[in-house]
Amino acid sequence: MNLNQSEKAIKAGIWIGIFAASVCVFLGFNEWRLGHQKFFPRNSLTNQPSLTTETTSNDWGNYGSYLQGTTASLWALAAFFLIFVAFLAQQQQASRQSFENHFFQLLTLHNQIVDDLRELDGSKQGRTVFFFLHDKLEQTYLEQLDGKEVSEDTEAFAVDCYEAVFRLHQDVLGHYFRNLYHVVKFVDESAVVDKKRYTSIVRAQLSTFEHVFLHYNGLSIYGRERFKPLIERYSLLENMNPQLLANPNHQSAYSDDAFGEDAAEFRRLSTTPASAQSQHPRSGSTST
């Protein structure tokens, strides 16, 4: 049984236990009412229980034995179900706490990896490496675009440029994205219900330029098979600045889910008839 099935089984057990306990309590009250009517029938004139001096201790003893065998047994069973529910709830809480401990350890490790990033010459480190690599990506894109037709300026072309940059800086990008994928995959395979709460925490760790590189990595040969579905499932591209893409007007291969609440804006840009030449002049310095 995997983690998701285990979580569902625990939740189902809790609800079944609560339902069973409620039924037992109801049946216990019902048996108490029926027993009272049986041993102490109401007077037809006063509609009051016939508790007279003729009511003997033997009658009370029989009534007590009846309650012990019916109402008390049912309420004892209800108590057992409630103890079972408390045990399952404790297991559920322990499971979530274990998950969160592991999750935040992975997130801390990822941030340490980012802090330890270094360019080959050591001039850039930490998240500033992505600022530098974004400049390299933009330069590569503009150089490769020179002389091409407007129809050739597609997102797939921009992804090819990203893959060229990735190959040159695989020691940095490869390690980074393998670990980021592992963090998101850990959440995806976990038993927690509100997974987007945790993937949103992951997304919040990304800098502006990390977001752009995540966008292209998910479409590249390095991420399209395994990472892209997770990017779409958890809207990891939400809040990304589209103006930092090679060309914001490219028709995206991502589904709207990848952009979350920003999907409408991305679709609006992708349907705007503008070319990269109007976004990035072929001559002159690149913008970062």
pLDDT tens readout for residues 14-60 = 788 888 888 888 887 787 777 766 666 665 555 555 555 455 556 66
Cβ-contact 31, 74 below 8 angstroms: yes
191 and 244 together in one domain: yes
Residue 245 belongs to some domain of the structure: yes
Cβ-contact 134, 213 below 8 angstroms: yes
> Can you give the pLDDT at residue 227?
96
67 and 204 together in one domain: no
159 and 223 together in one domain: yes
The residue-averaged pLDDT of 278-284 equals: 41
The residue-averaged pLDDT of 66-78 equals: 76
> Can you give the pLDDT at residue 34?
74
Q: How many CB atoms lie within 10 A of CB 253?
A: 14
76 and 130 together in one domain: no
81 and 140 together in one domain: no
Residue 135 belongs to some domain of the structure: yes
CA proximity to 158, closest of 176, 149, 145, 148: 145
CA proximity to 211, closest of 187, 188, 231, 185: 231
23 and 165 together in one domain: no
90 and 124 together in one domain: no
pTM for the whole structure: 0.68
pLDDT per residue as tens digits for the range 186-207: 999 987 888 999 999 999 999 9
> Can you give the pLDDT at residue 280?
47
**Highest mean pLDDT range out of 26-30, 61-65, 211-215, 265-269?**
211-215
Domain count, the chain: 2
73 and 171 together in one domain: no
Residue ranges in the chain assigned as alpha helix (H): 3-39, 57-69, 71-115, 128-145, 155-168, 170-188, 195-204, 208-219, 227-233, 263-270, 276-279
Q: Which residues pair with 49 in a beta bridge?
A: 42
Residue 81 belongs to some domain of the structure: yes
Domain that holds residue 138: 116-279
Percent of the chain with pLDDT over 70: 77
DSSP-derived letter for residue 194 is -
Residue 103 belongs to some domain of the structure: no
- Segment holding 122, helix H or strand E: none
Residue 241 belongs to some domain of the structure: yes
65 and 143 together in one domain: no
